[in-house]
């Protein structure tokens, strides 16, 4: 579990610094830490193929985010 004091400090950072922190933490992972299963690979490949074959069915992140935020209580 992440220390609450650490999270409090992270929340004080501006967006650019939080993004840089995410990038820095991401770089601490080794390749085996990020391994995906064969089933996950198949699913990702299928979704990528669908996105490439049906580009008009896709939504930009701003629209997806807006839909998700409207569903919050």
DSSP element (H, E) containing 7 = helix 4-12
Rounded average pLDDT over 65-70: 94
**Are 44 and 36 a contacting pair, CB within 8 Å?**
yes
Same structural domain for residues 29 and 42? no
Mean pLDDT, the chain, rounded, equals 94
Number of folded domains that form the chain? 2
Same structural domain for residues 19 and 50? no
pLDDT score at 56: 92
End-to-end CA distance of the chain: 26
Q: Which two tokens stand for residue 57?
A: 């069915």
Q: Does 1 or 51 have the greater pLDDT score? A: 51
pLDDT score at 73: 81
DSSP element (H, E) containing 41 = helix 38-53
pLDDT score at 18: 96
Q: What percent of the chain has pLDDT over 90?
A: 92
In the chain, how many H helices and how many E strands? 4, 0
Same structural domain for residues 47 and 29? no
């Amino acid at each position: 579990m992440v220390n609450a004091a650490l999270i409090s400090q992270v929340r004080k950072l501006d967006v650019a610094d939080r993004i840089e922190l995410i990038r820095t933490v991401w770089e601490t992972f080794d390749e085996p830490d990020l391994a995906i299963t064969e089933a996950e690979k198949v699913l990702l490949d299928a979704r990528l193929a669908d996105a490439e074959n049906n580009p008009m069915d896709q939504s930009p992140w701003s629209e997806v985010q807006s839909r998700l935020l409207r569903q919050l209580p």
